[in-house]
Structure 1
Amino acid sequence: MINLEWLRTFSAIYECNNITEASKKLNMTQPGVSKHLSALESHIGKKLFERTTRRLAPTEYGKFLYSQINNPLQELEKVEYYSNQRTKKKRSAITIGCTSDFFKKELIHKIYAFDMYIITHFGNEKDLIEALEMDKIQLLVGIKKHAIYDHQFVYIKSEELELISSNNIDTPKNIEQNEGQFKQWLQRQNWFVLNNDQEGIKKFWETNFNTNFKMVPRYILPSYIDIIEALKNNCGFSIVPKHLCEEALNNSLIKAPIKFSKTTEQKLFYSYKLKNSNLKAINIFIEKMKKTNDNKPHKN
């Protein structure tokens, strides 16, 4: 097998027409350059240069060999250069726990521009809190500002919650004017929820009826986006963040059957363990996300 360094030396001699200049270009001694050339000529059994007093002139085979190896050598040198650059550059690495909704709507169009190694871990909030405590993830995006563990919280934003239903729901006329009947009617409906905790529904119910919401959900789906898709073709209700369902509402694929005077919101937080070895990466990620949000064009 031909030694790659022999070919690199041959290429330098060909381009410089001179052993001395080639040795400078390669940062080698002249005897070292001559040794590489002799080894290559011996290996292939061909003379590559005609030697004169001042310069080296390539033979016909030397010209042929150079034409064959020049481009491949340049490509290999590029690979070597960029590999060295990647080795020298230390990128931060982080594992983020979040819902698939947050990933699809908030992260997917941003994080690929971050100069970081990023792993995303999906799950429900209860499981993700446990994963954070067990160091399976370093940063969590969620709505619960819990007190179970000694985690730190950074506010992200507030999301308005919207009551939505499938289009085939017939709402009794003026039923919202009788709160008791209205609550009973809603509780009899098929409800699509994110998990058994029903945090969004409970918050919505407490805000608008000042009571606890008691019902057994008909369907538990893994994400708000899945719930919205299900309501397009099935009969039922749900409470979801407004920004996730606006497109479906605008296209009349689902509807908001009742308008309420009070606004219900849930807050999103980053949470992380204060004592860990990833604080630098966590701060970098949070700051980059903040900058991308600040640079978003504002709607009129």
Structure 2
Amino acid sequence: MVDFEWYRSFCIIYKYNSVSEAAKVRMMTQPAMSQHLASLEAEVGEALFIRTPRKMIPTERGKQLYSQLAPLIESLEEATMNFKTASLPTLTFIKIGTAHEFYTEKILPQLHQSNSSVISSFGTADQLLELLKEDKLDLIVTSKKIPAPGIEYQKVMDEEFVIVAPAAYELPVTDSLEHTEHWLSAQHWISYGLDLPIIRRIWREHFKKRPQIRPVHVIPNLHMILKAIGDGAGLSVIPTYLLENSGDKRTKVIFGELKVNNELFFAYKLKDKQLPQIHEMMTIIRENG
């Protein structure tokens, strides 16, 4: 008789192409995970994976079985989670982490839509991922899709970044990309960090080189950077959604063709995938992205 846990183990092995990674996700030992797979293969009567030194490659029978099992297991796990939450107090909690600026512009105005109590944290992509791994956060919005056992990512949206200058800035009249790059390199720049995040992307994608820039100011807050630009402190790279909401007439976009897109992702623990409060918060953010 087939044990339901064999099916769950099989689906996780299929997802990660690895018995060892699947064991970490399910918090089992590797021998126990291998035993689940061996028992299921014995029941099915044929191999479900081709073992290679680097990964597990599903056979045609394995692919067929996964396509049948995956939606059924997700439905069962969702039903189980609903049973659990039905017995909990009415007020639920969700611990969410994002960049300060994204939270201010995209989440804070919609916070009243949440039926859960929201506990918010702010930090860099690396900091937020560590908090998620330690179960100190339930959901993060991040610009880095860093592979990690038991962590699943879903794309949220694309951010568009443009170069922004004080409104009074006089621009050179030129059609030459080389002259534009030379002029930009000679300006005062304000950066989010010493490693010139996003500014490097502008140079790499449009000028095919590293920027030869030393920022005059480093301010790890985009709202403050935008204010500093308006005050005449220099140029920087700002997401368009922040400009749309700021209403600041003291700044302007320059060289609009020199823009870059940056992907944002939701990240959460695979074990928490079916939590209603996570689904609700992702829906709220997506609908207002």
Normalised TM-score (structure 1)? 0.60
Q: 1:187 maps to what in 2?
A: 185
2:217 counterpart letter in structure 1: Y
CA contact (8 A) 1:169 1:235 kept: no
CA contact (8 A) 1:94 1:282 kept: yes
Specify the SS of the correspondent of 2:198: helix
Using the TM superposition, give the Cα deviation of residue 172 of structure 1 relative to its aligned residue in structure 2, in angstroms: 2.4
CA contact (8 A) 1:169 1:236 kept: no
Specify the SS of the correspondent of 1:110: helix
Q: 2:263 maps to what in 1?
A: 267
Specify the SS of the correspondent of 1:275: helix
CA contact (8 A) 1:232 1:253 kept: yes
Q: Does 2:279 correspond to 1:283?
A: yes
Using the TM superposition, give the Cα deviation of residue 134 of structure 1 relative to its aligned residue in structure 2, in angstroms: 2.3
Q: Distance in 1 between matches of 2:278 and 2:176?
A: 50
1:8-59 C-alpha deviation (Å, 9 max, x unpaired): xxxxxxxxxxxxxxxxxxxxxxxxxxxxxxxxxxxxxxxxxxxxxxxxxxxx
- Taking CA–CA contacts closer than 8 Å with sequence separation of 6 or more, which of the two structures ends up with the larger relative contact order? 2
Structure number with bigger Rg: 1
Q: Distance in 1 between matches of 2:88 and 2:270?
A: 29
Q: 2:134 maps to what in 1?
A: 134
Q: 1:101 maps to what in 2?
A: 101
Q: Distance in 2 between matches of 1:277 and 1:204?
A: 35
Distance 1:203 1:109, change over 3 A: same
Q: 2:199 maps to what in 1?
A: 201
Q: Does 2:250 correspond to 1:253?
A: yes
After TM superposition, list the pairs within 5 Å mapping 1:35-184 onto structure 2: 89-147=89-147, 150-174=150-174, 177-184=175-182
CA contact (8 A) 1:192 1:221 kept: yes
1:104-142 C-alpha deviation (Å, 9 max, x unpaired): 111112122311011110122222222222222121112
Specify the SS of the correspondent of 1:256: strand
CA contact (8 A) 2:143 2:263 kept: yes
Specify the SS of the correspondent of 1:170: coil
Q: 1:242 maps to what in 2?
A: 240
2:251 counterpart letter in structure 1: I
CA contact (8 A) 1:163 1:258 kept: yes
CA contact (8 A) 1:99 1:223 kept: no
Distance 1:169 1:148, change over 3 A: farther
Specify the SS of the correspondent of 1:91: coil
Q: Percent sequence identity over matched residues?
A: 23
Equivalenced residues, count: 203
CA contact (8 A) 2:193 2:218 kept: yes
Cα root mean square deviation, aligned: 2.6
Q: 1:227 maps to what in 2?
A: 225
CA contact (8 A) 2:190 2:233 kept: no
CA contact (8 A) 1:138 1:278 kept: no
Which has the larger displacement, 97-106 or 269-278? 269-278
Q: Distance in 2 between matches of 1:155 and 1:277?
A: 15
Unaligned runs of 5+ in 1: 1-86, 295-300
Normalised TM-score (structure 2)? 0.62
Q: Distance in 1 between matches of 2:248 and 2:269?
A: 42
2:253 counterpart letter in structure 1: A
Using the TM superposition, give the Cα deviation of residue 217 of structure 1 relative to its aligned residue in structure 2, in angstroms: 2.1
Distance 1:206 1:88, change over 3 A: closer
CA contact (8 A) 1:133 1:149 kept: no
